[in-house]
A and B are shown apart, each in its own frame.
Chain A
Amino acid sequence: MFQPIMDQILSLARDAWAFMAGLLIVVALLGGMYYILQGTAGAAFGGSRMTSMAIIGVVGLVIIVLFAFLFLPQIGELLKNFQPQPPF
């Protein structure tokens, strides 16, 4: 009875997932570019703190993106396995 509605909602959710994943890639690439610019400028002007902050920023971004693309689907699989049958 609820299957057609469920299919519609899941299709919307899949579209939203693809959109947000694309947006995350764009934000991460722009952020990475910004950090590279910051690091290069820091290295050129002799700002070692600026450069190190930029390197840390890039590493942080990579960790966040890896978390989103590797850890979140695993969490989803875990929750899907826990999806309970009706308890009544």
Chain B
Amino acid sequence: MNEITSILLTFLREAWVALAGVVLAFALLAGLAQVLRTASAGVLGSSRWVGEALTALLSLLTLGLFAFLGIPKIVEALQSALPNGGGCGPISELGLFASQLIGGLAALRMLKATLTSILSTSLGAPASLASALTETAEAFFGMLLAAAAIPLAARFLGAC
């Protein structure tokens, strides 16, 4: 079980690093696109377009900071809330395995949702942005539910 956990976690960690790099690259490209939009709108004299582009630029900065500062802290906090030693024997091992895997998957899901949000912001698609943020909330509540479900399952399955 330990070997499987470590293989899966290594895979998820590599995916995290790659996804974080992609988030950074896309955030910068989207920022440059918004600056280009601001410049062209300024030349054309469209103040509304300039306002939209500047707001999008600020949103991109906020999303980038949330991705790199907020998500790791949320995952760390929720992972420390996940009980990993409920019961004994295989139940305990399974609990540890599940809590690590749930944490990793939720972190990746949140980062993916942030990447979708960044893309939606740069394209000006509020519907995709809303669904991506809903996905982040789902991952968050999924971890909270898992925190409650693991000890209950351990007790139900006859933990020591």
**CB–CB A87/B75 < 8 A:** yes
Q: Which of chain A's residues have a CB closer than 8 A to the CB of B68?
A: 79, 82-84
| Alpha-carbon separation in the docked complex, A76 to B42 (Å) | 24
**CB–CB A72/B31 < 8 A:** yes
Nearest-neighbour CB distance to chain B for A51, whole angstroms, equals 16
Known A5-B18, A10-B25, A27-B39; contact A68-B32, beta-carbon cutoff 8 A = yes
**CB–CB B42/A60 < 8 A:** yes
Q: Residue B39 contacts which of A28, A76, A84 (CB distance < 8 angstroms)?
A: A28
| Contacts between the two chains (Cβ within 8 Å), count | 116
**CB–CB B18/A2 < 8 A:** yes
Within 8 Å of chain B (Cβ to Cβ): is A6? yes
DSSP majority for the B interface?
Answer: helix
Chain B residues in the interface with A (C-beta under 8 A): 9, 11-18, 20-22, 24-29, 31-33, 35-36, 38-40, 42-43, 61, 64-65, 68-69, 71-73, 75-76, 79, 100, 103-104, 107
Q: List 20 A-B contacts (CB under 8 A).
A: A1-B14, A2-B15, A9-B25, A10-B21, A13-B28, A24-B32, A24-B35, A31-B43, A68-B32, A68-B35, A68-B36, A68-B39, A75-B28, A80-B24, A83-B68, A84-B71, A86-B12, A87-B71, A88-B79, A88-B100
Chain A residues in the interface with B (C-beta under 8 A): 1-3, 5-6, 9-10, 13, 16-17, 20-21, 23-24, 27-28, 30-31, 34-35, 57, 60-61, 64-65, 67-68, 72, 75-76, 79-80, 82-88
For the complex of A and B, list the 6 residue pairs with the smallest distance between their C-beta atoms, beginning with the closest. Answer: A31-B43, A2-B18, A87-B72, A82-B68, A13-B25, A68-B35
